[in-house]
Amino acid sequence: MSGRTWRRALVTGGAGFVGSHLCARLLDTGGAVVCLDDLSTGSRANVAELEQRHGLRFVRADVTDAEAVRGLPGRFDLVLHFACPASPADYLRLPLQTLDAGSAGTRNALERARADGARFVLASTSEVYGDPLEHPQREDYWGNVNPIGPRSVYDESKRFAEALVTAHRAVHGTDAAIVRIFNTYGPRMRAGDGRAVPTFIAQALDGMPLTVAGDGTQTRSLCYVDDTVAGVLALAASRESGPVNIGGADEITVLDLARRIVELTGSASRIRFVDRPVDDPGRRRPDTRLARERLGWRPRVPWTEGLERTIGWFARAIAA
């Protein structure tokens, strides 16, 4: 790692789940942050407290609007491109917008980074591996993606964005990197976004059955949002171009996750099995050797502790 620090950062999708945590961490280091978000899936509430702090400016705009991105005042030394619907409920509801965010949105953010001489980091995803035939998934694995399936709007958006970043770096010398994020969870997730952790927590706290897809034997590797943010910023501060996997090391079945959440919430909820979505990955665990060796990063928050923190946040949000 180079130990670079940032005077002024642009976070696209900064009012989203991970984006808002990135904004907070950057403010903690003393930098100024412009949070750009069209609020199609993000929430102004995620950054409401941050707006009371010195250094954060919220701009409501669509990253696919080249003029809006180009017209942001001042100069950035870091651009984090996190603007894209990321949950199944969102990208299935907004398929064309999802594809636009990965294509035009990525191009606009790259052009702004190039114009400012800024470091650029693309938020890619474990979904580029599809329903993987290799386990655990290494960065040199090309993936097993259905290009016309229901998940393809997200998968292919991110795969194209990765290709665009790679080409931009080759043609223009843009200081750009790619991070592939796995199954991040934590406070500020939306209960109805379709991902397992917030869905199960909301159901358990409400005393409703936990809806487990298929037989629940499919696996995920959870990574608490604080650890994900640390990995993203470690990549930003390095000279690495990636892609680099950032994700949890502990693999758990979806059924065991549901049972654990019932236990941690003290809920009387039962498990209800529902149809498994098309192209739902059977196994998901990152090989994080590159992140350990090149960035000195590893997850620090055990998933049980992370779940307890997340449950506490949901419980407080419901009470409020």
Residues marked active site are found at: 154
In degrees, to the nearest 5, what angle opens at C-alpha 154 toward C-alphas 151 and 158? 135
d(CA 140, CA 150): 25
Region for 186 from its dihedrals, namely left if φ exceeds 0, alpha if ψ lies in -120 to 50, beta otherwise: left
Q: Within the chain, what is the greatest distance between any pair of CA atoms?
A: 58
Q: 218-245 b/e with 16+ CB inside 10 Å = b? A: bbbbbbbbbbbbbbbbbbbbbebebbbb
Q: Phi then psi for 100, rounded to 5 degrees?
A: -65, -40
Q: How far is CA 250 from CA 50, 117, 180, 271, in A?
A: 32, 38, 17, 22
Contacts for 196 with CB less than 8 Å, ≥ 6 apart: 220, 254, 257, 258
d(CA 227, CA 238): 17
Q: Phi then psi for 6, rounded to 5 degrees?
A: -125, 125
Token digits for 38? 């069209």
Token digits for 112? 């702004």
